[in-house]
Amino acid sequence: METAYLIETVIKIVVILLIFSALAGIGTYFERKVLAFMQRRLGPMNVGPFGLLQVAADGIKLFTKEDIVPSGVVARIFKIAPVITAATAFMAAAAIPFLPSFTLFGYEVHPIVADINIGILYILGIMGVGLYGPLLGGMASANKFALISAARGAAVFISYEVVTGLSILAPIMMVGSLSLIDFNEYQISNGWIVFAQPVAFILFWIAAFAETGRTPFHLIANDHEIIDGFGTEYSGMRWGLFAIGEYANMFFISFVISLLFLGGYGDGSLLGALALLGKVAFFFFFFLWTRAAWPDVRPDQLMWLCWKVLMPIAVINIVITGIVMM
């Protein structure tokens, strides 16, 4: 392994880590603002202009808050659980090309940490490992609400992960590769996959809501039923890591949807890069939008939906795709 490659990779990792940790914080600001505007409120207004420094205030609060490990918890697992959530969220980002490759000071930069040939499989697998954060945190918390949340997390996870996997199987059959860059190249010549696979797109989008635990399927940490679920016993930066992981996941899954179905960054021009960011912004906004508009479903409804409706549709979609491709 060359030294230059190693240095480049480390720099890329640090940059992605910093940008998306900051974006996770700014994401909470946008969430508050968008929800507030949709509910005819103003949202944060007092810290800084238009409340922009609210993120910094929250950060200071989370960092300086006492780190409480309650008695009765399984301390070691309790402490490691939020790290799993945040770490897996960022690890999944390794196979995502965030921008087309560009030249910086005469050096060609590929804004992807590792273009591995099993990209999507890796992303979905690592995001699946992310389940262990809520699951272990909830089970170790010695709190009934956290335990319910952990049980829901496990049940819901199995349901949506089936839909996620099956729904992207059809696009993968069309492209013939698991690398997101190959997906992007395929869509330059053959048009966006969303037009060829609208059903798979909708299914993956629905599953993304379950994957990130956003509102229609926000039942792992449903405030009005089980307080904060697995996060109930957490305080300070441990809770903050859960939040960072959740919001980073929202950004990453938005990138994945845009790259898989909506043409990604296109031909790699500046316009294509901006278009990718625009698509990601739309999907992130949609996560917030649905939170203002839609009610939550019950866990049994989600499992019913995933197993009895979405999974058969996904299987039928795969079969039809196969027949058409033959």
Partner 1 sequence: MNNEQFNDRNVSNDYFLVDIEDYPTDGWGKFKRVIKRSFRGELFVGLWVVLREMIRFDIHTVKYPEEKMPIGPRYRAVHEMKRLWESDTERCIGCGLCEKICISNCIRIDTKIDENSRKEVSEYSINLGRCIFCGYCAEVCPELAITHGGEYENASDQREHFVMYEDMLTPLDKMKAATQLEFEGFGAITPHEDERVKKTPLAY
- The residues that touch partner 1, with contacts defined as CB under 8 A, are 34, 37-42, 45, 289-290, 292-294, 305, 308-309
CB closer to partner 1 out of 69 and 303: 303
CB of 40 to partner 1, least distance (A): 5
Least distance to partner 1, CB of residue 124, Å? 25
Minimum Å distance from CB 282 to partner 1? 13
Q: String of b and e for 241-259 (b: at least 16 CB within 10 Å)?
A: bbbbbbbbbbbbbbbbbbb
d(CA 130, CA 84): 6
Q: How far is the CB of 200 from partner 1 (least distance, A)?
A: 16
Q: With respect to partner 1, which residue has the nearer C-beta, 32 or 238?
A: 32
- Spatial separation of the C-alpha atoms in residues 98 and 100, rounded to whole Å: 7
Q: How far is the CB of 42 from partner 1 (least distance, A)?
A: 4
Separation in Å, CA 224 to CA 218, 227, 244: 11, 6, 22
Report DSSP state, residue 229: G
Compare residues 14 and 42 and give the one whose CB is closer to partner 1.
42
Q: Give 280 or 305: the residue with its C-beta nearer to partner 1.
A: 305
What's the full length of the chain, in residues? Answer: 326
Looking at the Cβ atoms of 7 and 293, the one nearer to partner 1 is 293
Backbone phi, psi, residue 262, to 5°: -110, 30
Residue 32 is encoded by which pair of tokens? 């508050």
